[in-house]
Amino acid sequence: MITVTDLRKVYQQGNREVVALDGVSLEVPKGSIHGIVGHSGAGKSTLVRCLTLLDAPTSGSVSINGAELSTSRDQDLRTARRRIGMIFQHANLMDSRTALQNVAHPLEIVRTPKNDIRRRAAELLRLVGLAGFEDAYPSQLSGGQKQRVGIARALASDPDVLLCDEPTSALDPKTTDEILALIQELTQRLDLTVLIITHEMHVVKRVCDSVSLLAGGRIIEHGPLRDVAANLGSELSRTLLPLPASEPLGAGAVLEILYSGERASAPMLTSAARRFGIDLNVLAGSVETLAGTQFGHLRIQLPDGADPAPVAAYFGEQGVSVRLAEKDAV
């Protein structure tokens, strides 16, 4: 479990203060994967640096499985850092070293006995699906294989937390999914707590149990994936379950509806149309499965002059999330 409490980071830029993190609190349970998304300048990299204590937070605390990191000093700090494994966008392997020697590197630093190093590094390579590649050099490996070596290296110190900074941004879609599947499998197998910083919603959809949206150094939306997705009108829901742009067909009111689980759209639209004696035009729609739940998202338009309020209320009664779309967003 990783717990971040009221983390603040203020940089001094000349005589100006830049508040990069403005009171970030997070709790990620053991065995789960949390995604952090946010636009450029939101504070993602600063958060990573503060979590790994490469950068000292101005205030606030970070703890892993109840052990406080932010007050650790020197030797304690080095020990504490080993509890966090890191994966980056590029594996940053040492080109002159084989896959096995790259994985061995963190073990050499802490003076693990030689025989143990070989055995442990080979075991880690097997764990990430690279048995047989021990003696390959980075130049002989694909991008996905390099990232697997990077993951094996991150696991060498037997960390509790895996911090992934844009782990798949440099990979093609198929390799991205393979690496994400590996991260998911390792999370369960090793009971890791995983944080993934990403700008790719695909990553969040695919593996994250929960997600936070960082903006201006603050977490402005957060929660289990299923809950944030179901909150029509939240920024995360809009990016998780996007609808294609559409042209309105006239001056009629436009509603967006979001339903989940077993509720099917067709009977609902038909019954609403019958009840109010109006035609409902579907302008755009999408159906997606997120966190094991199916979500249907529709943009519908009422005829000219029809009052949207009772129709919206009716959908609401059916347990469907509904909102009046702003005209310029249609």
Contact between 157 and Mg ion (CB under 5 A)? no
175 binds Mg ion (CB under 5 A): no
198 is an interface residue for ligand ATP by CB under 6 A: no
Determine phi and psi for 60, rounding to 5 degrees: 100, 175
Q: Which is nearer to ligand ATP, 36 or 192 (CB)?
A: 36
Give the one entry of Mg ion, ligand ATP, none that residue 35 binds, where binding means its C-beta sits below a cut-off of 5 to 8 angstroms depending on kind.
none
Q: Based on CB atoms, which residue is closest to ligand ATP, 24 or 208?
A: 24
44 touches ligand ATP (CB under 6 A): yes
Q: Per CB under 6 A, does 242 bind ligand ATP?
A: no
Name residues contacting ligand ATP, limited to 249-308 (CB under 6 A).
Answer: none
Residue 115 partner contact from Mg ion, ligand ATP, none using kind-dependent CB cut-offs of 5 to 8 Å: none
Nearer to ligand ATP, 51 or 291 (CB): 51
Sheet of 321-324: strands edge to edge? 281-290, 293-301, 254-260, 321-324
Give the C-alpha separation, 50 to 70, whole Å.
9
Cβ nearer to ligand ATP, comparing 38 with 150: 38
> Which of 2, 20, 51, 86 lies at the binding interface for ligand ATP (CB under 6 A)?
20
| Residue 281 interacting with Mg ion (CB under 5 A) | no
52 belongs to the binding site for Mg ion (CB under 5 A): no
**Rounded to whole angstroms, how far apart are CA atoms 237 and 203?**
15
Q: Which stretch binds ligand ATP (CB under 6 A): 35-43, 113-121, 146-154, 283-291?
A: 35-43
Find the binder of ligand ATP among 6, 17, 18, 181 (CB under 6 A).
Answer: 18
Q: Which residue, among 157, 152, 154, has the nearest Cα to 110 in the 3D structure?
A: 157
- Residues 102, 137 contacting (CB under 8 angstroms): no
Cα-based angle 24, 30, 34 (whole degrees, multiple of 5): 45
What is the closest distance, in whole angstroms, from the C-beta atom of residue 19 to ligand ATP in the complex? 8
Q: Pick from 37, 5, 21, 72: which is nearest to 198 by CA?
A: 37
Q: For residue 125, how many other CB atoms are within 10 A of its CB?
A: 23
Residue 313 interacting entry, from ligand ATP, Mg ion, none, C-beta within 5 to 8 Å by type: none
Q: Decide which of ligand ATP, Mg ion, none touches 290; Cβ closer than 5 to 8 Å per partner kind.
A: none
Report helix, strand and coil shares of the chain as percent, to nearest 5. 35, 30, 35
Least Å distance between CB 195 and ligand ATP?
14
Strand order in the sheet with 210-215: 84-87, 161-165, 193-197, 33-37, 210-215, 218-224
Query: Mask 20-39, x = binds Mg ion (CB under 5 A)?
Result: --------------------
Reference 167, options 201, 196, 125; nearest CA is: 196
Binding site for ligand ATP (CB under 6 A): 11, 13, 18, 20, 38, 40-46
What residues make contact with Mg ion under the rule CB under 5 A? Answer: 44-45
